[in-house]
Amino acid sequence: MSYPEQRYLAESGTTNGTLRLADAAPDLAMKSGTNVHYLGTGGSTNGAFGLYRWEMGPRPSGPAPHFHRTITESFYVLSGTVRLYDGIKWTDGRPGDFLHLPEGGIHAFRNESGEPASMLILFTPGAPREAYFEELAEISVTGRELSPEEWTELWLRHDQYPA
């Protein structure tokens, strides 16, 4: 393993950091009670990664088992209990627990604890996941019903494959 090829070639550093304070309002509020904070999107990280703080309310929520072909996904539990699926078994993730899935790794997560829970979700490279999250939120809020074919088309557009 070695360092990647240099991406910044100027002689001296620059002042181009981005600070997001912990008390910033969520970027997306889902009907399930989940609030999503876009900490670092693929757009803001020049495609390096996408990092999201996922704050789940006490109601059960989370995706069915799935995998991605183009991105890795990692989960780091911040608070509460988050059920994590590693493609083999479900485990109650507690603060400090970490799950990484390379491309093709079947996974899922759920909050079934009846209490709020939060985690960080990291995608590499930085795919435009915000569009997927926002489309799911819109479907939920409007009550729009998708046919199996429409779900398949939505998932394919966002590198999401049911397991």
- The DSSP annotation for 16-44 comes to ------TTPPPSEE-TTS-EEEEEE-TTT
Question: What residues does 98 pair with on adjacent strands?
Answer: 76
CATH code at position 132: 2.60.120.10
Give ∠ CA 66-72-76 in degrees, rounded to 5.
90
In this prediction, residue 127 carries a pLDDT of 93
Complete DSSP assignment for 52-92: EEEEE-SS-B-PPSEE-SS-EEEEEEEES-EEEE-SS-EEE
Residue 93 domain-assigned (yes or no): yes
Residue 23 domain-assigned (yes or no): no
Q: What is the pTM of this model?
A: 0.94
Residue 126's domain spans which residues?
A: 28-162
Residue 3 domain-assigned (yes or no): no
pLDDT in tens, the chain (163 residues): 999 999 999 999 999 999 999 999 999 999 999 999 999 999 999 999 999 999 999 999 999 999 999 999 999 999 999 999 999 999 999 999 999 999 999 999 999 999 999 999 999 999 999 999 999 999 999 999 999 999 999 999 999 999 9
